[in-house]
Structure 1
């Protein structure tokens, strides 16, 4: 299968998504000498506009340097193509002479590949290569990008817990994750012991009660004299409404270009600070949104994550040779293995954190949840437990 391969990146950048681009590019060079490899600029927009970089012409040493660089070297897009947009993309691929299209991304990206597969009728091989710090793709044990982001989050909360031992108070860190709580749960991966922070973890899989939150924080303060809290940006109330919508007047909410409420804006931190000030007056409290920092921090690139992302790109070439599908990272009980799975098993679906990863009667990680995190995000730094 020589010819032309098109590669694109979709959704949020990560610390290792460029590894997947380079893994695929170098594997194509090895298996299909003379094949053209086109990198689409800004995801499917590049295909629509005929805007490509010829990855075939880039020297390997430069590619490998790019592989180890965070962000999305080809540029990305938040476009969610419908059937009509996919027809435009398909025409663009045909114009480029594409034999295969490898699209690296998460849920929406896999959905695009499914629509294109159905429309093309087997004339082009469509491959979805996984990427998401949310770790929420079906068929996957974990996804490229998650481990590096999880290391950032784990290190941030270990550091904050040490800080608040010296000057006790309340700290709330808001972590990315609209529908799945894996990244927020990673805040507990490097806990020194059960008495250390984060003392409370709130994930989208469980309804959030503002009154219950205040009660939890108060009880933790009574016990530990400080309270470290990890909250997912996507937590919602019992009626399914995003927490920020319950705390902020509708006319004051920040919204994106599609009219969706911004979960990572300034509204939620400010609302939680107000709730703490009203519910626990006089207590020192700080609320921060970690924002985009975890997903592409240059100081927290996991070697394991980088290698898995690279391997996923190389594996995607074989999936293209087989006619297309989705690349999945699965766990066989001892190691991570790459598998080809049907696009329909992944496309547009969300994998949620298992319920048994949380204690049934507390907003804390269970033994099962901690075991999963420690397998993927093992302790990286040895620190001494303070005297206070």
Structure 2
């Protein structure tokens, strides 16, 4: 149902925070304040839970300077939630929206947030409530269907790439076996980003395990041994979502209990996974120097490791969401499409084409052996990482001849 007359805007943030999600929120606020038919711009604290609880803040009163400072700040300034609304929940949302005169609802998030917007929009139509609902993309997993890539992913990928550059240098200085678990759920994009910093032939990560390929423990152990025999060391990048040939996440097989969120998503977590596999490497292969890390929350909102490309596009999806809602008078999900060598355009895609669906890495991005990536992936990722990526050098090691025979 089209909006008419003066109305209010409500923006909220859902799911895991990212380094650039506030750019999208600020994009909504500043763009919405340009339209005469927008009376006020509200923010809901802690996502849709804040709508039900009516914990709103008036973002119309924020100065532009302060908003710009918030835009540059990682994490979710409004707070977040993983609640999934059922019919009763949606009815509570509508009562709050109607009471406050909200006519435009913008929800920034990933797959689950898109599903939330879909449900809210559908209930609004059934109730005859004049609401425009727009999903604004955000996820470090890069798994939103219909998008070339998703805001939040480039900055997280930049962090992962540079983290593994440092890990590789450390491992080269003190050789051993290292396993690093990376976020990404059922898509391997973020783990694959660990490869982008490789410069020399023996640089790690030497093995990269993605959810898109079945993980076999025996094969994994033999590959670690072969790599360690070749280089005297081995760096492994593991996705938290790696699965066996029955599509069961390895993390689930190792866990005594399986936790799920309100959307039915299994809490994967890379800690137990990396630790368990490191223990197997020690026990089965006999290596003493074996270390495991989980990059964890560091990947999501790390200060000082943000892609300028990611910042710009995160701002623009917020701006385009407002334009589609107020000029186009349509519900939907903003999607990012790549053109040319590197340029993007934004489209409004039907919510049911995005909500509840998962994009995974295409075959052309994964090496035939299944534990590395291709040049096609590296070409896809590099433009997203932005300016000023770190580099590493090596000594040429011009050897000095030995003089003393230590055997005498």
Q: For this structure pair, what is the TM-score category when the shorter chain's length is used for normalisation?
A: over 0.9
Match of 1:62 in 2: 66
For structure 1, which segment, 342-351 or 97-106, has the greater mean C-alpha deviation from structure 2 after superposition? 342-351
Deviation for aligned residue 1:39 = 0.1
Whole-angstrom CA distance in 1 between matches of 2:251 and 2:305: 29
1:200 is aligned to 2:207 = yes
User: Aligned in 2, Cα 1:387/1:222: closer, same or farther, shift over 3 Å?
Assistant: farther
1:84-133 per-position Cα deviation (integer Å, ceiling 9, x unaligned) = 32222222212221111000000011111111111111620000000000
- The 3 A distance-change label for structure 1 pair 247 and 275 is farther
The residue aligned with 1:271 is 276
TM-score normalised by the chain length of structure 1 = 0.95
In 1, the alpha carbon distance for the partners of 2:354 and 2:301 equals: 24
Relative distance call for 1:32 and 1:183 in structure 2 (3 A) is farther
TM-score calculated relative to the size of structure 2: 0.90
| Aligned match of 1:384 | 393
What secondary structure sits across from 1:35 in the alignment?
strand
The yes-or-no answer on 1:176 pairing with 2:183 is yes
Partner of 2:405: none
Partner of 1:336: 344
Aligned residue for 2:130? 123
Q: Tell me how far apart the structure 1 counterparts of residues 286 and 13 of structure 2 sit (CA, whole Å).
A: 47
Partner of residue 319, structure 2:
314
* Residue in 1 that maps onto 2:400: none
Cα distance, 1:269 vs. partner? Answer: 2.6
- The answer for the alignment partner of 1:74 in structure 2 is 78
* Cα 1:193–1:345 shift into 2, 3 Å: farther
Q: Does 1:43 align with 2:47?
A: yes
Task: Map 1:240-259 onto structure 2 (within 5 A).
Answer: 240-248=247-255, 250=256, 253=257, 255=259
C-alpha distance in 2 between matches for 1:139 and 1:300:
26
The residue that corresponds to 1:353 in the other structure is 361
Post-superposition Cα deviations, 1:129-181, rounded to whole Å, max 9, x if no partner, equal 00000001011111110111001000000111111111111111100011110
Where structure 2 has 5 or more consecutive residues not aligned to the other structure, the ranges are: 398-408
Whether the 8 Å CA contact 1:189–1:377 is kept in 2: the answer is no
8 Å CA contact retained: 1:273, 1:287? yes
Matches within 5 A, 1:117-156: 117-121=121-125, 123-156=130-163
- Show CA shifts across 1:208-244 (max 9, x none): 1111111111111111111111100011111222112
> What aligned pairs does 1:287-298 form with structure 2 within 5 A after superposition?
287-298=292-303
The question of whether the paired residues in 2 share the 8 Å contact of 1:180 and 1:204 is answered with yes
Q: CA deviation at 1:287?
A: 0.6
1:261–1:275 CA distance, 2 compared to 1 (3 A): farther
Distance between the aligned counterparts of 1:371 and 1:310, measured in 2? 24
Cα offset for 1:194?
A: 4.2
Q: Which runs of 5+ in 1 are unaligned?
A: none
Of the structure 1 ranges 153-162 and 361-370, higher mean CA displacement relative to structure 2 is found in: 361-370
